[in-house]
Amino acid sequence: MTHMRTLTLLLVLTILGISSCSVNKNITSYSGKKPKKIIFLIGDGMGLTQISTLFLGKDNTNNFKRFKSIGFINTRSGSHKITDSAAGATAFSCGEKTYNNAVGMNMDSASITNIVEVFSGRKYLTGVVSTSSITHATPASFYAHAKHRKLQYDIAQQLLKSDIDFFAGGGSEYFHKLGADIGLYSWEIDSSNSPSWTNLSFDPNKRYGFLSAPDGLPNMLTGRGDYLKSASLAAIDYFDNKPYFLMVEGSQIDWGGHATDYEYVYSEMQDFDQTLGAILDYAEKDGNTLVVVTADHETGGLSLRSQSYIDNNGNSRSDYDKVEAGFNTGGHTAALIPVFAYGPGAQSFQGVYENNEIYNKLMALMR
């Protein structure tokens, strides 16, 4: 019977043109309590220094302090020592290191099964929430397969035909320019710029999409407000205590790093932390929710260095009481990235390992 099922699955995957992976995936078995719900948060471009910005103020309360299970990942991609967001997210969502720019495809540009496809096959509801366009590399890697991340019209079509049940982010232009006949009819789509999150009531038989900006959402400095937190809580509300996998991305920590703009990075980190706090509050009450927080890579080579000054003798000195931000690059870096986990199965995220191991760890926790 199991064999039959495997054969049927293989057949279905072959028909869909999805090759099963040749790279060996270490899906270790897990015998402890498994979570019913998984919330996977990605702070795009969020390295240890970006997190450290939340510790700088006098009142350094932040939600990262609530974690006890912590690990580190090496983020290099299949093609480069420094990953981009597409290869970084594909490592999480499909379990393979691939070339930079690849979305849900392996080194040979073949589609590889993603975690949303597997989880929804096991009757989990699935969702993606992002502050970039929902077709951008990070969220796209959880539902689409594309040779290049810039194929966003193709990715938009794939989202509507994917197993995703709930999405929220920007990117309406990628959908509306496609015309009506793209599967939009089977969705409840909200295209307002600021959805009224508190007045929503969801029909469990429908799928919901929020396209709240033409492309990326506004940044925090220009008034995005609490979109990320509200959309994440709306997704949780929609899932209504059924098993689910939800990916939440703070997309613009990365954009602040590319802009080498400290205020941009810091405001996006604060927003991510607020969202994390609300999700951890929910998970603590629920008791059946695993929360995993990590990043695809660090952006900007951000350092929190001391200010220098010239003393009375004309020597350059460091004032260790004055911290200033410095960026080393306008691109990504190869720094190890922390992984934080809370809830049933959290311990399996401890250790130092490769980014694609995240997929194996999540799969081992599937019911």
CA end-to-end distance (rounded Å), the chain? 19
Residue 131 binds which one of Mg ion, Zn ion, none, with CB within 5 to 8 A depending on kind?
none
Tell how strand 166-170 and strand 207-211 pair up.
parallel
The residue (of 53 and 85) whose beta carbon lies closer to Mg ion is 85
Under a CB-based contact definition with an 8 Å cutoff, are residues 318 and 306 in contact?
yes
The residue (of 103 and 160) whose beta carbon lies closer to Zn ion is 103
36-44, 113-121, 260-268, 324-332 -> range binding Mg ion (CB under 5 A): 36-44
Report if residue 296 touches Zn ion, rule: CB under 5 A: no
135-143, 253-261, 271-279, 305-313 -> range binding Zn ion (CB under 5 A): 253-261
Shortest CA distance to 363 belongs to which of 14, 21, 10?
21
Residue of 96, 165, 254, 298 that binds Zn ion (CB under 5 A): 254
> Which residue type does 339 have?
V
Residue of 251, 275, 294, 356 that binds Mg ion (CB under 5 A): 251
d(CA 44, CA 255): 8
d(CA 284, CA 282): 6
The residue (of 35 and 301) whose beta carbon lies closer to Zn ion is 301
The helix (run of H) or strand (run of E) holding residue 344 is none
Hey, what are 76's tokens? Answer: 């290099």
Residue 348 binds which one of Zn ion, Mg ion, none, with CB within 5 to 8 A depending on kind?
none
Could you give the 3-state DSSP secondary structure of residue 71? strand
CB of 137 to Zn ion, least distance (A): 9
Strand ranges (E), 14-140: 37-43, 69-74, 125-133
Report if residue 165 touches Zn ion, rule: CB under 5 A: no
Hey, what are 301's tokens? Answer: 């080579």
CB of 17 to Zn ion, least distance (A): 29
Q: Which stretches within the chain are classed as H helix?
A: 2-15, 48-52, 85-94, 115-121, 137-140, 152-161, 172-176, 227-239, 252-258, 262-286, 357-364
Report if residue 85 touches Mg ion, rule: CB under 5 A: yes
CB of 45 to Zn ion, least distance (A): 6
Site string for Mg ion, 280-319 (x = CB under 5 A): ----------------------------------------
The residue (of 154 and 254) whose beta carbon lies closer to Zn ion is 254
Under a CB-based contact definition with an 8 Å cutoff, are residues 63 and 273 in contact?
yes
Hey, what are 57's tokens? Answer: 């103020």
> Which residue type does 54 have?
L
8-16, 190-198, 233-241, 248-256 -> range binding Zn ion (CB under 5 A): 248-256
77-85, 160-168, 187-195, 197-205 -> range binding Mg ion (CB under 5 A): 77-85
Going from the C-alpha of 321 to that of each of 303, 309, 314, the distances in angstroms are 15, 12, 20
The residue (of 254 and 357) whose beta carbon lies closer to Zn ion is 254
- Size of site (CB under 5 A) for Mg ion: 4
Residue 96 binds which one of Mg ion, Zn ion, none, with CB within 5 to 8 A depending on kind?
none
The residue (of 165 and 254) whose beta carbon lies closer to Zn ion is 254
User: Residues in the site for Mg ion, rule: CB under 5 A?
Assistant: 44, 85, 138, 251
Per CB under 5 A, residues contacting Zn ion are: 254
